[in-house]
Amino acid sequence: MTGFVSFVGSGPGDPELLTLKAVARIGAADAVLFDDLSSGAMLGYARPGADIVAVGKRAGRPSPSQAHVSQLLVDYASTGARVVRLKSGDPGLFGRLEEEIAALRAAGIAFEIVPGVSSASAAAAAAGIPLTRRASARRVQFITGHDVTGDLPDHNLAALADADATTVVFMPKRTFPALVRALLAAGLAADTPALIAENVGHPDQSIVRATIASISEMLERHVSGAPALILYGPLLDEA
């Protein structure tokens, strides 16, 4: 008996940003394995009796290994269960989706991907700005602030220092100062407009507009535990 897994994007945390398909899949599931940022009110759509299992990962906190999460998906689906893997934002953006899909394929378990509102789109919307601008920001690039070891990845600095691109940095806080030093060395101006968005989609969300240099200085002094994105580029210069 083989079940089915739905990878469902929960959006950035606001339950009103769930798609209709996401709500339907959550409501039909026998088990919901959720990320930390996919908790709260949106779990209220699960049916009574469904298994609700926290499998989220947060920097600096105890959390299940990726291998354990992948095995849980296989174990639940192998009983014939309908499983929802509830991922924050969109499942395909820095959500370890590839590893979980690989585990399901190896076990012969069918799955689907239900896209969600990316935290990048939600942050831009909350700030009242577009991610693109016809004359000056015709390209958007999404990057991660750290690799599997927690260090700054080996990025294409020429691309990231492009003054005509909008860049969104996921999981940026601990490595952004190092990234900014590299960007300045690659020719990006220190006064390039930027914003840091924390707890996007939650009642306590915070958006601070500044420059790449001033945000770097702020993070050198203090790094909070709130999840965040940093956006920088020309689309912010009139915000």
| Positions marked catalytic | 35, 57
What's the length of the chain? 239
- Any bridge partners for residue 9, and if so which? 87
Task: Report how far residue 5's alpha carbon sits from residue 206's, in angstroms, rounded to the nearest whole number.
Answer: 34
Distance of alpha carbon 120 from the chain centroid: 8
Contact 13, 199 (CB under 8 A): yes
The DSSP output letter for 44 is G
Assess contact for 23 and 103: CB atoms under 8 A.
no
Q: Across 115-164, where does the E strand assignment appear?
A: 139-144
| Phi-psi domain of 202 (left: phi exceeds 0; alpha: psi -120 through 50; beta: other) | beta
The answer to whether the beta carbons of residues 92 and 111 sit under 8 Å apart is no
